[in-house]
Chain A
């Protein structure tokens, strides 16, 4: 019998969580598909930094809400209704810079959700203006824990950059229950191209380093690590878990499930598939009931594939795979890469 009181936990049926895509950046129907699918599969959907439309409050059990630099739509009910709260420090698609939702996209519904005037630009500043050190982060983490009665885990999302391991370590020491790391080239079509394509480091390298550092410091057990950025298949999930992740965030893959064709024109607000748009002619093209079915299909298929792979590896549970780099072997990687990843060359034995 364990007497220790456990920190609040999130339980997922599948190590795959829908990553942060705000209502505003994606349509109401797309968001609805995500939350409904999350509920059906038994995982979570991240609200992004755009607040949470009151219609989605009933799905709170399957929603992680975000507190980002703009603090859009953050209020006590918003924090209370969700299962977990995520503080967004950085985003893989645009590390170090903020966000900008043009005023034209701020319709009445979005203005109500974000708690900003209709038609005004929604600018997320690059930094949190109250966080300039790990100590500042700690204060925010505990402010949120205080606000939610220490019942909900708090996650800190950071972008994968060169000193990501130190930042992750700091975040955990600041009280984060989950560290989310977002690798280079998150799939958005609405970030400045130069930043999107050039700032940040690949997620697998970052993950291996973070995992290694946390183990060395003896704090790996204090937080879960969730990674995001370029997870495209069940194989990617398996590799991420073997490299030390507890779960992965999928964003683009989920949108592809909804019909996204990766045309990368999200910034125009004229998404043909009714996903990244608020145009009423376009949003109705996506029926959330169909969307939900497709997403559930996607997750179920990946889940089955992952089980097959686990079977192939002779591992009987996904937990046994976590951080188990012995199950990985490298082909075509340089010695340095293998060293950073902590993975042996194909053919090398135990």
Chain B
């Protein structure tokens, strides 16, 4: 199964991954519209953490032994059969936040759409490489 690898030694903290993730997960898929016309603004599922010169973009690690899946009380959080990603079925999610408190990386967020749901990296579905990896200008993320 392919995973997103983080190369912190090359991350320059430009946060293009965050922008591209947000756009990818917006309704329009257009950068200006996503930022200016969609309310509430779509959420980026990747976040750059910084400390001094060290920085890295962190998104769901898609753990093999995923506590968010075990602790999900509806079964909404599940493993995608195709790419092995840990994904949240938004139709089943009720926003109980069990996944948030289980995640040792702090990469699940609350999102308010028609109802509240858990928002997390879905490896951009099955359309090839995730947006954060494709758009990283310094190849600090790789998908292999």
Q: Which residues of A contact B (CB under 8 A)?
A: 279-281, 284-285, 287, 289-290
Contact = CB atoms under 8 A, between A and B. Distances in A.
Given A284-B10, A284-B11, A284-B12, A290 B138 contact: yes
A280 B50 CA distance: 13
Interface in B130-144: 138-140
Contacts of A279: 53
A287 B53 contact: no
Interface string B38-58: 000000000000000100000
Nearest to A293: B139
A287 B139 CA distance: 7
B9 interface: yes
A289 B12 contact: no
B139 A290 contact: yes
Contacts of B12: 284-285
Contacts of B11: 284
A41 B140 CA distance: 24
B53 A285 contact: no
Interface of B: 7, 9-12, 53, 138-140
9 smallest CB-CB distances across A and B, nearest first, come from A280-B53, A287-B10, A281-B53, A287-B138, A287-B139, A285-B12, A284-B10, A284-B12, A290-B139
B139 A284 contact: no
A281 B53 CA distance: 5
Among A280, A284, A285, A290, chain B packs the most CB atoms within 10 A around the CB of A284
Contacts of B140: 287
Contacts of A281: 53
Contacts of B139: 287, 289-290
19 contacts: A279-B53, A280-B53, A281-B53, A284-B9, A284-B10, A284-B11, A284-B12, A284-B53, A284-B138, A285-B12, A285-B138, A287-B7, A287-B10, A287-B138, A287-B139, A287-B140, A289-B139, A290-B138, A290-B139
Contacts of A290: 138-139
Contacts of B53: 279-281, 284
Contacts of A289: 139
A53 to B, nearest CB: 15
A285 B138 CA distance: 7
A160 B10 CA distance: 39
Contacts of B7: 287
Nearest to A279: B53
Contacts of B9: 284
Given A284-B9, A284-B138, A285-B12, 4 more contacts: A279-B53, A284-B11, A287-B7, A287-B10
Nearest to B10: A287
Contacts of B138: 284-285, 287, 290
A279 B12 CA distance: 13
A72 B64 CA distance: 49
B137 to A, nearest CB: 9
A279 B52 CA distance: 12
A287 B12 CA distance: 10
A290 B138 CA distance: 8
A285 to B, nearest CB: 5
A290 B136 CA distance: 12
Among B7, B53, B140, chain A packs the most CB atoms within 10 A around the CB of B53
